Amino acid sequence: MSQEEDEYWQARLLDARHGQLDTVRKAAASWSTLFTATLGLFGTVTFVSGLTALDDLASGTRLAVRWLIVAAAVLTLAATILAASAANSMPRVSNDLTVNTYQSKNKAAATAALTRLRIAMGLGAAAASVVIAGSIVVLFADKSPSPPTHLLVVVNGKTYCGTPTRSADGALQLGATSLDGASLVTTVTACP
């Protein structure tokens, strides 16, 4: 390598070493923006849609999906806060500011910011995994069984109530009572 090339790359190395904190903060700001947008979109979809699809799920599955939603929201919020913390500095006052302490504090701040950013990225990935898992559960979950239809029937002056079935010949019946000749048939949610 020529001396000119060597000097160029040494200057880039010096710039990179001096700009570590700024580099981490710029990356963290981008991730913070992404997490904030994700949290906003997630919140909008969740609260505007009202999660009406949850009502169609079986009770146990519905509860599991609700907990997955809570976990995804908490993970995304934590990722957003950590990424924002990594992107921004906290103001400090120092009476012993020398070149060595400034350099040391700058390196320590870059290391701490990078650690917070890595944790934020892990939390963001976990939140995305939870959202995907919840979506898969909702996609493949059995729907909640609809309540059975009950009929209130008057046959030959007697009132019967229950869930209708079919006899061997295909006629509707309640228990052993045929519904042929029923004078009144009413659908009810439950028998009195």
pLDDT at 23: 80
pLDDT at 98: 78
Judged by average pLDDT, the poorest of 60-69, 75-84, 171-180 is 171-180
- Say which residues have a Cβ less than 8 Å from residue 6's Cβ, sequence separation at least 6: none
Q: Sheet harboring 172-174: ordered strands across?
A: 165-166, 172-174, 177-178
Confidence of residue 49 (pLDDT cuts 50, 70, 90): low
Confidence check: pLDDT of 106 > 60: yes
pLDDT at 123: 92
Give the residue extent of every domain in the chain.
3-140, 150-188
Identify whether the C-beta of residue 123 lies closer than 8 Å to the C-beta of residue 36. no
Distance CA 74, CA 68 (A): 10
Mean pLDDT of the chain: 79
Distance CA 27, CA 121 (A): 11
Judged by average pLDDT, the poorest of 35-44, 131-140, 152-161 is 35-44
For tokens 């809570």, what's the residue? 70
Section 20-45 average pLDDT: 77
Report CA dihedral (82, 86, 91, 96) to the nearest 10 degrees: 120
**Highest mean pLDDT pick, 9-18, 91-100, 162-171:** 162-171
- Say which residues have a Cβ less than 8 Å from residue 155's Cβ, sequence separation at least 6: 177, 178, 179, 181, 182, 183
pLDDT at 173: 82
Confidence check: pLDDT of 45 > 70: no
Confidence check: pLDDT of 111 > 80: yes
Q: Which residue intervals of 52-167 are DSSP H helices?
A: 59-87, 99-140
What percentage of the chain reaches a pLDDT higher than 90? Answer: 5
